[in-house]
Amino acid sequence: MKKDILTLLDLRLEDCERLFPRALQLKRRHDKGVSESALAGRTLGLLFDKASTRTRLAFSAAMSKMGGTSLFIQSGETQMSRNEPLRDTARVMSRYLDMIAIRTYSQEWVERFAGYTDIPVINALTDSFHPTQVLSDLMTVVEKKGDFKGLKYAWVGDGNNMANSWINAAAVMGLDLFLSCPEGYTPDAGILETAKAAAVNPEGIRLVSDPREAVADADVVNTDVWAGMGQEEKLEGRKRIFAPYQLNAELMQHARADAIVLHCLPAHRGEEITDDVLEGPSSVVWDQAENKMHMAKAILEALIEG
């Protein structure tokens, strides 16, 4: 039976507990120059509607380094641009490919696509979720902290697709997660309700208005841009609203002395995060970015193995 990763609620705790050590093992092997061949003869499709640097490169490089190949596909260059039904495209692609990663706007579109395929489908970002990013973020936490358990996680800023995926991660893994977002910009109430209903520890997912409360004694502090892809025209109007939620040195003083800072990138320095924090000793964003590739290897291998 095929396995999809459309949201992190598609995974179980034991899935995550296998992925993190395997991704770290693959990273160590990569650093030693060890060649991998687990995905030899396999082909990954990358069906992207949105711009991408790290996610596209991470999955392409991961597939290559595991012995497989990848094909980049833009929807506008397929027959879907001439109104071929989604179900027809999905069924044909599943005859050509072994897996497909989709980066687009609508979560519902990705779920419908997955319903018509016989191959694993990976959500490589929608407006609602970015599950593979949070998996690589948590791999980075394990790498730096030794484990993902027993830590306080803080999210400060927009209640966007990344915040939604952190909420799902907290549900699946029992994380202690504090989110602080401006009024009117909190995570989707339906997503929050669904996650809490499925959560190992629903009380561990908390929304607080004061970012200092969220960050207080936090081990992991996370933020993202104030206006995501497709929202750029809203940025100027958001700057004043989001200013108290900027991840800066003053806010970081409330976190633990050994706290790490995550940002999925690209970063708008001087907006959601200051340059001194992004480039400071608490920042692990460059390892975090590299780890997308190693986590992608572990994800692709696990999906092929079933």
The correct CATH number of 8-129+292-305 out of 3.90.1280.10, 3.30.70.1060, 3.40.190.80, 3.40.50.1370 is: 3.40.50.1370
Answer whether 8-129+292-305 and 131-287 agree in fold: yes
User: Residue 227: what pLDDT?
Assistant: 82
pLDDT in 10s for each residue of the chain, 306 residues: 789 999 999 999 999 999 999 999 999 999 999 999 999 999 999 999 999 999 999 999 999 999 999 999 998 889 988 999 999 999 999 999 999 999 999 999 999 999 999 999 999 999 999 999 999 999 999 999 999 999 999 999 999 999 999 999 999 999 999 999 999 999 999 999 999 999 989 999 999 999 999 999 999 999 999 986 667 777 787 899 999 999 999 999 999 999 999 999 999 999 999 999 999 999 999 999 999 999 999 999 999 998
72 pairs with which residues across the strands? 46
Per the CB < 8 A criterion, the answer to whether 157 and 226 are in contact is yes
Q: CB-based contacts of 226: which residues, under 8 Å, 6+ apart?
A: 157, 158, 235, 238, 239, 242, 268, 271, 272
**At 46, which helix (H) or strand (E)?**
strand 43-48
- Name the one residue in this structure whose structure tokens are 């690589």: 136
User: Residue 230: what pLDDT?
Assistant: 67
Distance CA 174, CA 179 (A): 15
Q: CB atoms < 10 A from the CB of 258, how many? A: 10
User: What does the domain layout of the chain look like in residue ranges?
Assistant: 8-129+292-305, 131-287
User: Does the pTM of the predicted model rise above 0.75?
Assistant: yes
Q: CB-based contacts of 172: which residues, under 8 Å, 6+ apart?
A: 8, 9, 11, 12, 13, 16, 198, 199, 200
Q: Which CATH architecture has domain 131-287?
A: 3-Layer(aba) Sandwich (3.40)
Q: What is the largest CA-CA distance in the chain?
A: 56
User: Residue 125: what pLDDT?
Assistant: 98
Closest CA to 60 of 124, 138, 142, 129: 124
Enumerate the H helices of the chain as residue ranges: 13-31, 54-65, 86-96, 107-115, 131-145, 161-173, 189-198, 211-215, 235-242, 249-252, 275-278, 285-305
User: Residue 229: what pLDDT?
Assistant: 65
Q: CB atoms < 10 A from the CB of 97, how many? A: 20
